[in-house]
Structure 1
Amino acid sequence: MSTLRPSDLAREHGLSAQAVRNYEQNGFIPAAERTAGGYRVYTPVHAAALRAFRALVAAYGHALAGRIMTELHRGDLDRALEIIDRGHCQLLRDRETLDAVRKAIDHLTPAADIVADRSPGRTIRTVGELARHLRVTPATLRAWEAAGILAPARDPATGYRVYHTPDVRDAELTHLLRRGGYDLPRIAAVVEQIRTAGGAGAVTAALDEWRRKLTARGVAMLEAAGRLGHYLRDHPDGPLRTSDDE
């Protein structure tokens, strides 16, 4: 099997040789053999692992890509696949949330109607219920409130926050845009536009941008699956080698 230097692996991806060594140290690629002089010796197996890792980074982010590769190199394929499956589930959930927000935008009402909609007879959620609905913490909802994004009413008897239908819509939109990389001040401006008549234009553009990001992530997942499948299929002496293979 041909041998490669750290710089050979690094050059393909525009990395430094030190970055490749760091990836090895962190378990993202298999451990290298050493020469008598202590120099690392890489092989096409390492090159395939690095391609898989870099593709996973584009699809799932650096942290999850690292976890997938380290689980593989521990020999736990099922755990690695579980992380990948959760990534696909999150992508689907993001698509569903995006569609839900688009439908909400199609039926936006003027600010006066939204205020009127905050009547006690409407279905409401406590901060805990809304947090569970969005899979965030109550502290996150309070941070959104501090940023001017959410403006829940207060129960006159208890003083606790209560969230009416428009608040839930605003929270869902905020959750989506946060996942899209938007900062809180920008989200606050978008939500304020939604609260006023004719304010859907900016959020429609933001959702179009997020749709493109979701599509790009889906394509990146396909690329990562191909790279990872290649690594596992064509390099039996790689991460899933057993004693019977030796």
Structure 2
Amino acid sequence: MRAAVEELRATGVAGFPPGGITPAPATRNEPPTIMAAGGGDQATDAHPSLAALRAEIGDCQRCKLHQGRTHLVFGVGNPNAEIMFVGEGPGQDEDLQGEPFVGRAGQLLTEIITKGMKMRRADVYIANVVKCRPPNNRNPEPEEIAACEPFLLRQIECIRPRVLVALGKFAAQTLLRETTPITRLRGRWFDYHGIKLMPTFHPAYLLRNPADKKLVWEDIKQVLAEVGRPL
């Protein structure tokens, strides 16, 4: 994965090329072999690689999203996490607090982690495709993704999680270079340049459609089994 990121930097391309992501060969009942080792001992937020990356981003003005932001929302959690959640972008609460997933959807994600997965929020890592709030919570535009996605890729490279969980349609389609509906992506394993990726519904969607929580729980159980934490 490091080689892929370095190539992106050299060429100026914002993300991995189309076709670079393929569904993992195993079935849902038999998750594929982990291809990226992660999940070392608990570390502090002063992880040198992530700290250097945050310093490089600085007071970012690489796209127009900076014009309306209160805080840049970098990411939070264990820099050696086995599991990394990736959402779409900050909302109003996240923009005000400078931390991802702290609003109502974030509270539900925290419940999934603590009550369902039996982990602490600090045990995982949480980030977004873009790090500044889009106006009125609209979807990020292509040029905004192009400015921000390379930093997400480098966050993933620093953390080297065993599993990525893409929360919602936008995060899943962006990472996978897919237009397939999230209803068809969720619950399936994908290979994201040597890291297992599981798309699932966004917590905000679950607030509107609570009956689908059971589907997310099925996805999360696969994630837990993949990292050796079966329930």
Higher-Rg structure is: 1
Of Structure 1 and Structure 2, the greater helix share is in 1
Q: Do both share a fold (TM > 0.5)?
A: no
Of Structure 1 and Structure 2, the greater strand share is in 2
Query: For the superposition of Structure 1 and Structure 2, which TM-score range results when normalised by the shorter chain?
Result: under 0.3
User: TM-score normalized by structure 2?
Assistant: 0.22
Q: Which has the higher contact order (CA 8 A, sep 6+)?
A: 2
